[in-house]
Structure 1
Amino acid sequence: MQHLNDILSLIDSYIGGSYWFVALLLLTGLFFTVYLQFPQIRFFKHAIDVVKGKYDEKDDEGDTSHFQALATALSGTVGTGNIAGVALAIHLGGPAALFWMVVTAFFGMTTKFVEVTLSHKYREKTADGTMAGGPMYFMKNKLNMNWMAVLFAIATVLSSFGTGNLPQVNSIASSMFATFGVEQYITGAVLSVMLAFVILGGIKRIASVTEKLVPIMAVIYFIGCLAVIFYNFENIPSSIARVVGDIFSGTSATGGFLGATLAFAFNRGVNRGLFSNEAGQGSAPIAHASAKTKEPVSEGMVAILEPFIDTIVICSLTGLALLSSNVWREKVDNTFQQTDMQVLNTVYDDSKNNPNNDREKLAYHISGEETLPVFDGELNVVNGTIKNTVTLIHARSLAEDVKVTYQGQPYSGHLKVTKGKVQWKDGLVITGKSLIHSAPLTSLAFSRSYFGEYGKYIVTIGLLLFAFSTAISWSYYGDRAMTFLFGSASVKYFRIVYVGAFFIGSFADTTIIWTLSGITIALMTIPNLIGLLILRKDMKDSLNTYWDHMENKFGIKR
């Protein structure tokens, strides 16, 4: 598994984790924001009116209402990215990563507007009478680039597993185990049955479920975030100051957090921002293609609201909860994961006044700017304690109070280490104090609130609803891509595999799943953004046509 993660990380470093990918994403949003004269600001109120159904017409063709399409698309984006993804971004890049997530969302509002409009414009009616759309259809029907359409559709199928399936159920199962002690495979089995029931009903059942789930889960999570923020209200000014103050400098070491560079905060903030709201990825247009309207731009207007709700509102609230509670820089008792752990060849001290500047050395090491010597050989463990003069790094922090157990008992013996990585075996557990990340970090933050220890239940329930609804929506994205590639008959086979993978993902390695998600996101995003840029004039013409229609039909001027 470690070898597989290393391979996936290397692939991700050249695409989703690269700076050129981040630049392509942001610059595309910036270009369309200027080219279309800030539509995310000018059309924001109009977008709300469209969602309300104010401009619906009787002869509109489609499968769902504007609100149902928005709810389905939101259920696909509001998921682990809002709970686990924000925590991971801050864990990796410090408070400034939150700022770059919000910036990504602001420009992403325009990107969503464009991709949904063009995808809706070139949608098709399938043999079973339902609507099918998405970037693959404008690539095929307008650009006449069938090879790009096929590439995007294949990436969508892969991403349905890497984005909407595996990381979602993994976060749910981990949270259920941490909170209630329910074994991961049991959670996976129950939810897999529920998932199968919903997705077999197609888009109408999916829309019916998501339009109820999204408002409920948003309210529950909103209350939980506010309970943390107001409980730690005295820390809000310093938290905001950290976000703003670290934008152009990176975050220096504080507590157990060893620091993060500006480049790392920028990269992780933008990357996690995309994972959260999916602007530019081309996934949401597949859901919006089902909406009832003859004007593609009207559905694009609806899509403007998605990154705002998903990232600017929900992710910002999560970020403030994490920062105001200070849990992002605290070491806590933790069960170590193999892929998050590394053994260094000597002893380091991360205390603030260390004369050897060990904190700075460790910070450079975990950021990849410099490399410290790693341990190769065998660790001598006596009654659960490592006797070698080594340092364990876990979750980008110096581990403390490390204990080794085997089959529930203190371990005595030797552990083989190759290039700093412990060779794991069944029954081996290594625990200690370190930073934590993803959903467990958010759960810890929610326990520092008016609800006390009960606060973590809000995260668990919120994660259950958020992530499950995301899995539902992504099953639809995958089956539309399968329909495009192989026809409607292939959908039933996709659904069987999708449900099976959902079960397996409940107990698979978390780090590998997150790495896989980054790769599949990039494989969808790159061809989609290229297509949008090519069709920039088409988008502007469509916008002009829309306002002519609105003026003639409803007397509304742009």
Structure 2
Amino acid sequence: MNDWLQTLTDWTGTLSGLLWGHPITLIVLLGTGLYLTLRLGFVQIRGFRHSAALISGRYSDPTHQGEVSHFQALATALSATVGTGNIAGVATAISLGGPGALFWMWVTAFVGMATKFTECTLALKFREVTPDGEVAGGPMYTLLNGLNMRKLAMAFALFAMIASFGIGNMVQANSVVDGLRYLHPGFADQAWLVGLVMAILVGLVIIGGVRRIARVASTLVPFMATLYIAAALLVLFNHLGEIPAALKTIFNHALNPWAVGGAAVGEAIRWGVARGLFSNEAGLGSSPMAHAAARTNEPVREGLVAMMEPFIDTLVICTLTGLVIVVTGAWVDRSDDLVGAALTAHAFQETLGPAGGMVVGVGLSLFAFSTIIAWSYYGDRSARFLFGDGAVMPYRVLYALLVVFGAAVPLQLVWNIADVTNILMALPNIIAVILLAGLARRLKDDYFSRPQKPTR
């Protein structure tokens, strides 16, 4: 049995590496963002200020359909995207691709803002609202109601549900234990207990549905982001003089093959784009399911709110992580075992001492927990689409139980399956956003052609 599991782990790992590391995959995801950026007239620049106003609630209308506010929808989606990728993913990109990888993460975030705008605008346009006000939306409904592609819609929902058990649940539960291990090594021996406590907390949140998930996320996300950003800024303030040289190093490794060699630039592109897309999930089709629940009758408004995700996730939080790693020199003088979250913790500890490791440990735990509760909603929307309303509560119970399992079991196989299903989720979603890009543009043009008056 163990040999069979190891064979399956090796095979799925190879497949995952081929899919995420293959230039075609990265070109398709990044190219889609570039195409949408041009097709929509750089909406991420034109709509940026209005997006901030929407998040503040100045345009909210309680008479519109939906279950949560613009801010709560954004917080729920950020709960899923702001996670281990911001701590471990950035460090992995830099350790394997060099500092130049950070620049290419910025590129993916900028064009990814247009992708998020498109997929979430379409999710609002084609969502379904029941008579009692419950909302269901996402790429599966866009494919079904917008393109009449039922089989492709079912394929997306199936892959999303499988991915929710992996990347959204068990992998994150394991990451919580890793985060707590930074605070106290003894937690490693109490993984089952940690998992049980976490499963109870997750169950209490997700059984209440998207409204309760949104309330928890809108409290947890600002707190954890503020804590992590404040610590990173403190490190950078202590290395203020090194920041210009760090930025020069980043741009050299990203764009100057004469300074660092063509192979180094190639690795920077590969790891920066891959980890950037993995972190902000632009094009994967996950966050449209959260944004579809927003209380608005204007699809473009939620698209504008959604495009702030890659900005906050990658251009702010990932940038701070990357700069901390570069300015402290942690990426140069690291030992071979310092990769992922351990490298980030090492960089913070260089300046803040043990408190730096504590920030990374707490941050990793909170980021991972918030990802668990957000992905539960993505999974239950997918289960509902595939099997009907009766599947939602059994899904939520099973999801909570798997948290215990994920916290205590080695998860390389689960990681591999999650990576593969994430890519398989992206394919139907990319088809939808490309085929409906013209509609998204017409909706955008119509919205901005009308005067938008704040409600308060």
Give the TM-score normalised by the residue count of structure 2.
Answer: 0.93
**Which stretch of the first structure deviates more once superposed, 236-245 or 315-324?**
236-245
**Could you tell me how far apart the structure 2 residues matched to 1:442 and 1:285 are?**
30
Question: Contact (CA 8 Å) 1:160, 1:475: kept in 2 or not?
Answer: yes
The 1:251/1:12 distance shift into structure 2, 3 A limit, reads farther
**Could you tell me how far apart the structure 1 residues matched to 2:109 and 2:288 are?**
16
**Could you tell me how far apart the structure 1 residues matched to 2:247 and 2:283 are?**
28
In the alignment, which of 206, 227, 236 is matched to residue 199 of structure 1? Answer: 206
The 1:503/1:547 distance shift into structure 2, 3 A limit, reads same
**Could you tell me how far apart the structure 2 residues matched to 1:443 and 1:478 are?**
31
Q: Does residue 39 of the first structure (1) align with residue 40 of the second (2)?
A: no
In the alignment, which of 324, 327, 330 is matched to residue 327 of structure 1? Answer: 330
**Could you tell me how far apart the structure 2 residues matched to 1:115 and 1:528 are?**
8
| Aligned-partner SS, 1:16 | helix
| Aligned twin of 1:425 | none
Question: Over alpha carbons, which structure has the higher Rg?
Answer: 1
Residues paired across the two proteins, number? 447
**Could you tell me how far apart the structure 2 residues matched to 1:251 and 1:264 are?**
15
In the alignment, which of 86, 106, 112 is matched to residue 116 of structure 2? Answer: 112
In the alignment, which of 141, 151, 154 is matched to residue 155 of structure 2? Answer: 151
Alignment of 1:87-106 (within 5 A): 87-106=91-110
| Aligned twin of 2:307 | 304
The alignment's C-alpha RMSD in Å is 2.1
| Aligned twin of 1:239 | 246
Q: Which has the higher contact order (CA 8 A, sep 6+)?
A: 2
Question: Contact (CA 8 Å) 2:181, 2:361: kept in 1 or not?
Answer: no
Letter in 1 for 2:397: I
Measured after TM superposition, the shift of residue 2 of structure 1 is: 4.3
1:165-211 per-position Cα deviation (integer Å, ceiling 9, x unaligned): 12222222112123312123332222111111111111111011011
Question: Contact (CA 8 Å) 2:171, 2:406: kept in 1 or not?
Answer: yes
Measured after TM superposition, the shift of residue 251 of structure 1 is: 11
Question: Contact (CA 8 Å) 1:60, 1:293: kept in 2 or not?
Answer: yes
| Aligned-partner SS, 1:165 | helix
Alignment of 1:287-366 (within 5 A): 287-332=290-335
**Could you tell me how far apart the structure 2 residues matched to 1:269 and 1:458 are?**
24
| Aligned twin of 2:345 | 443
Q: Does residue 215 of the first structure (1) align with residue 222 of the second (2)?
A: yes
**Could you tell me how far apart the structure 2 residues matched to 1:306 and 1:286 are?**
14
Measured after TM superposition, the shift of residue 511 of structure 1 is: 4.4
Letter in 1 for 2:310: P
Letter in 1 for 2:339: H
The 1:312/1:461 distance shift into structure 2, 3 A limit, reads same
**Could you tell me how far apart the structure 2 residues matched to 1:215 and 1:20 are?**
36
Measured after TM superposition, the shift of residue 507 of structure 1 is: 3.0
1:367-425 per-position Cα deviation (integer Å, ceiling 9, x unaligned): xxxxxxxxxxxxxxxxxxxxxxxxxxxxxxxxxxxxxxxxxxxxxxxxxxxxxxxxxxx
The 1:329/1:81 distance shift into structure 2, 3 A limit, reads same
The 1:251/1:61 distance shift into structure 2, 3 A limit, reads farther
1:326-359 per-position Cα deviation (integer Å, ceiling 9, x unaligned): 2223344xxxxxxxxxxxxxxxxxxxxxxxxxxx
**Could you tell me how far apart the structure 1 residues matched to 2:224 and 2:174 are?**
19
**Could you tell me how far apart the structure 2 residues matched to 1:252 and 1:500 are?**
52
**Could you tell me how far apart the structure 1 residues matched to 2:378 and 2:271 are?**
25
Measured after TM superposition, the shift of residue 508 of structure 1 is: 3.2
In the alignment, which of 512, 527, 533 is matched to residue 428 of structure 2? Answer: 527
1:143-175 per-position Cα deviation (integer Å, ceiling 9, x unaligned): 010011001101111221232212222222112
Measured after TM superposition, the shift of residue 437 of structure 1 is: 1.4
Q: Does residue 539 of the first structure (1) align with residue 422 of the second (2)?
A: no
**Could you tell me how far apart the structure 1 residues matched to 2:216 and 2:159 are?**
26
Letter in 1 for 2:224: M
**Could you tell me how far apart the structure 1 residues matched to 2:101 and 2:7 are?**
29
Measured after TM superposition, the shift of residue 518 of structure 1 is: 2.4
Q: Does residue 268 of the first structure (1) align with residue 271 of the second (2)?
A: yes
Alignment of 1:110-189 (within 5 A): 110-126=114-130, 129-181=133-185, 182-183=187-188, 184-189=191-196
| Aligned-partner SS, 1:247 | helix
Letter in 1 for 2:41: Q
| Aligned-partner SS, 2:45 | helix
1:470-494 per-position Cα deviation (integer Å, ceiling 9, x unaligned): 1100000000010000011111222
**Could you tell me how far apart the structure 1 residues matched to 2:226 and 2:106 are?**
21
| Aligned twin of 1:420 | none
The 1:97/1:5 distance shift into structure 2, 3 A limit, reads farther
**Which stretch of the first structure deviates more once superposed, 539-548 or 436-445?**
539-548
Letter in 2 for 1:330: D
**Could you tell me how far apart the structure 2 residues matched to 1:19 and 1:13 are?**
11
| Aligned-partner SS, 1:142 | helix
1:296-320 per-position Cα deviation (integer Å, ceiling 9, x unaligned): 0110010121110110000000001
| Aligned twin of 1:459 | 360
Measured after TM superposition, the shift of residue 56 of structure 1 is: 2.3
Alignment of 1:349-498 (within 5 A): 434-449=336-351, 451-498=352-399
| Aligned twin of 1:23 | 27
Q: Does residue 225 of the first structure (1) align with residue 232 of the second (2)?
A: yes
| Aligned-partner SS, 1:264 | helix
Measured after TM superposition, the shift of residue 128 of structure 1 is: 5.8
- Going by fraction, where is helix more abundant, 1 or 2? 2
In the alignment, which of 70, 95, 117 is matched to residue 74 of structure 2? Answer: 70
Q: Does residue 81 of the first structure (1) align with residue 88 of the second (2)?
A: no
Q: Does residue 280 of the first structure (1) align with residue 283 of the second (2)?
A: yes
Structure 2 regions of 5+ residues with no counterpart? Answer: none
Letter in 2 for 1:222: I
**Could you tell me how far apart the structure 2 residues matched to 1:224 and 1:167 are?**
25
Measured after TM superposition, the shift of residue 544 of structure 1 is: 2.4
Letter in 1 for 2:39: Y
Question: Contact (CA 8 Å) 1:252, 1:260: kept in 2 or not?
Answer: no
| Aligned-partner SS, 2:254 | coil
Letter in 1 for 2:297: K
**Could you tell me how far apart the structure 2 residues matched to 1:515 and 1:272 are?**
15
- Going by fraction, where is strand more abundant, 1 or 2? 1
Question: Contact (CA 8 Å) 2:202, 2:373: kept in 1 or not?
Answer: yes
Question: Contact (CA 8 Å) 2:62, 2:295: kept in 1 or not?
Answer: no
Measured after TM superposition, the shift of residue 127 of structure 1 is: 7.0
Q: Identity over the aligned pairs, expressed in percent?
A: 44
**Could you tell me how far apart the structure 2 residues matched to 1:320 and 1:118 are?**
35
**Could you tell me how far apart the structure 2 residues matched to 1:526 and 1:79 are?**
23
